[in-house]
Amino acid sequence: MLPRKKNSSCGLCPKSEFLFLVELWKCLHRDTSILLNWEGAIFDWDGVIVDSSDLHKKSWEALASELLLPLPPDHFEKGFGKRNEIIIPKILKWTQDRSEVEAWGKRKEEIYREMAKINGIKLAPGAVDFLTKTNAIGINCAIGTSTERKNIELAIEEHGLSDFFQGAACSEDVKKGKPDPEVFLKAAHILSIESERCIIFEDSPHGVEAGIKAGMKTIALTTSHPSNAFMHLKPDLIVNSLAGVEPESLISLFE
């Protein structure tokens, strides 16, 4: 006669063993984040999580054609990452009328989403791998961006990113754009984590400045601007992208 097979390797019934393992994982999950000495990661969106620059550039060109208005040669570089309420009157100099600024800004984002639905939205290098590792060690993640919420939701749905983020502070949620720290402070509030325990990931100088003003550790990505564009701000770290960045290595930022 064969020996009687036990229900599980630890002598518990399958359901009890499963619950035990779940609780054990939670403890390890929580303790790891404590050992890392930081609790929250806040990500800008365009240029950090998604590579959307080409879509944004083409949507501005389409809007200009639709309105029969000119685009300055360097408008995109100056405006990338800024709110449309700043781009249209101050960079493009199309109008100072607030109702026109609002209407044209909304139309630009509609065009962006129309293009994105046809062509798809590319992910930034290393984004999903970094988010996966960050979540696995118990770091809570949020988004802090000048982008409209509908744009974010479109990319999240396309790539199945919803499980990575606890929430997002978007352009509709703030009165002041970067370099004002409001969007990052709201993102930290979503996570219920103090600013000093957060790291922000940004690809624009004014975004890094906002993170510094918020009292957060700052990591600059050179996906949209060269490294020398960040030097005067002295971010805690400058990297090419999220590819190759290991979350555990960031503990040194808090030492």
Segment 103-160, tens digit of pLDDT: 999 999 999 999 999 999 999 999 999 999 999 989 999 999 999 999 999 999 999 9
Higher pLDDT, residue 29 or 218? 218
Same-domain check for residues 141 and 87 = no
**Among candidate residues 65, 97, 119, the one where a domain is terminated:** 119
Q: How confident is the model at residue 12 (pLDDT cuts 50, 70, 90)?
A: very low
Is the pLDDT assigned to residue 29 strictly greater than 60? no
Same-domain check for residues 206 and 110 = no
Same-domain check for residues 44 and 164 = yes
What is the per-residue pLDDT across 34-64, written as a single tens digit (0 to 9) for each? 445 789 999 999 999 999 999 999 999 999 9
3-state secondary structure of 173: helix
State the total domains in the chain: 2
Tell me the CATH number at 191. Answer: 3.40.50.1000
Q: From residue 200, give the alpha-carbon distance in Å to each of 209, 213, 216, 221, 240.
A: 11, 11, 7, 10, 15
Q: Is residue 23 part of a domain?
A: no
Same-domain check for residues 112 and 163 = no
Residue with tokens 């979350």: 247
Q: How confident is the model at residue 208 (pLDDT cuts 50, 70, 90)?
A: very high
Higher pLDDT, residue 204 or 251? 204
Q: What percent of the chain has pLDDT over 90?
A: 76
Higher pLDDT, residue 25 or 92? 92
Q: Domain of residue 65: give its range.
A: 53-119
Q: What percent of the chain has pLDDT over 70?
A: 86
Same-domain check for residues 226 and 198 = yes
Same-domain check for residues 98 and 129 = no
Same-domain check for residues 171 and 248 = yes
Same-domain check for residues 41 and 144 = yes
CB 238 within 8 A of CB 203: no
Which residues lie across from 221 on neighbouring strands?
239
Same-domain check for residues 91 and 216 = no
Is the pLDDT assigned to residue 233 strictly greater than 90? yes
Same-domain check for residues 216 and 126 = yes
Same-domain check for residues 63 and 133 = no
Per residue in 54-90, is it b (16+ CB within 10 Å) or e — as a string?
A: ebbbebbebbbeeeeeebeeebbeebbbbbbebbbbe
Average pLDDT, the chain: 88
Q: Is residue 80 part of a domain?
A: yes
What is the per-residue pLDDT across 172-188, written as a single tens digit (0 to 9) for each? 999 998 999 999 999 99
Cβ burial of 167 (10 Å; 0-12, 13-18, 19+) is middle
Q: Is residue 207 part of a domain?
A: yes
**Whole-structure pTM value:** 0.81
Same-domain check for residues 155 and 46 = yes
